[in-house]
Amino acid sequence: MLQYPREELLRLGFPYKGKWNGDIFARQRPIVLELGCGRGEYTVGLARRYVDKNFVGIDIKGARMWTGASEVEREGMDNARFLRCEIENIDQFFAPTEVDEIWITFPDPQMKKRRKRLTSTRFIEMYCRILKPGGVIHLKTDSPFLYEYTRRMVDVNGFEVLTCTDDLYASGLADPERSIKTYYEQQWLSRGKSIKLISFKPTCEQDLQEPQEDDIERDDYRAIPRPNITNIQTS
């Protein structure tokens, strides 16, 4: 698991920026990020399935990532790594066009704080600085609010939509890649919540516009105690 002190980052920069393929990963392969990776189930699950790609799980909470990092070390996987950092600083760790694809899996919808919302235009602009042209962003969420907000944001900015469903497992679109279940996804499914997915290609040549959100119904179920989930699987 990679960690880099904030003081050194500001003073010296990240030494592997632009060098993930070659210095961190031995083989030159497309780079895929999972943002807010938690225990790393998606990062590990994708890395097992796609040995022709390199995966980086990113979160600020190192204790949670240790689960995924331990699996990677135990299995000797050469195409998965974990980075402890704030997502707000992601462009300090990756060079322009260094990243091919981004997964955002079950983030806090931040219904009251748009600036912290991982699919707000503030963050989309950051992602555009590191994504290759034609790079893809996937949002997988249980939150009706975040799904609808993101769908509107994509629409108002004219992004190309690849997949869009408000009930992944009833849609027939749940292929092995999209069916990897994180700890939180298993919690929501156990409570009968549908899983939403939207995949799109952002373009940031123009000034991005925020969508109207005042009429989007707010989620009303996050205060309910979460059940305990056992036998967590990454695939």
Just list the catalytic residues.
108
Give the amino acid at 18.
G
User: CA separation (Å) from 78 to 21, 23, 82, 156, 182?
Assistant: 12, 12, 12, 40, 21
Dihedral sign, CA of 41, 45, 51, 55? negative
Helix (H, G, I), strand (E, B) or coil at 106: coil
CA distance 83 to 34: 10
CA distance 107 to 184: 10
CA distance 59 to 178: 20
Q: Which of 229, 164, 161 is nearest to 197 (CA)?
A: 164
Q: Which residues of 115-131 are buried (b: 16+ CB within 10 A; e: fewer)?
A: eebbbbbebbebbbebb
Q: In the beta sheet, which residues pair with residue 34?
A: 57, 103
Q: Which of 56, 23, 19 is nearest to 37 (CA)?
A: 56
